[in-house]
Amino acid sequence: MPYINVKVGGSLSDEQRKKICEEITKTMETVAGKPPSSTYVQIDEIPRNQWSVGGKLLSEK
């Protein structure tokens, strides 16, 4: 039973979340032979002011 946790800076639309889940599930089936019915995908949308890259908050970019 694969469990995949995706963390993104900022928010996504419902359509984007759906597409991400579909594509990850498809990849797990194609590459690892895991049935879609056993693949769990969780998306965590993290506010951009709680992540940084290169010492700068994403909200500053």
Catalytic residue among 2, 35, 36, 47: 2
Cα-based distances in Å from 3 to 9, 47, 54: 20, 23, 29
Nearest to 27 by CA among 17, 37, 18, 36: 36
Give yes or no: 36 in active site.
Answer: no
Catalytic positions are 2
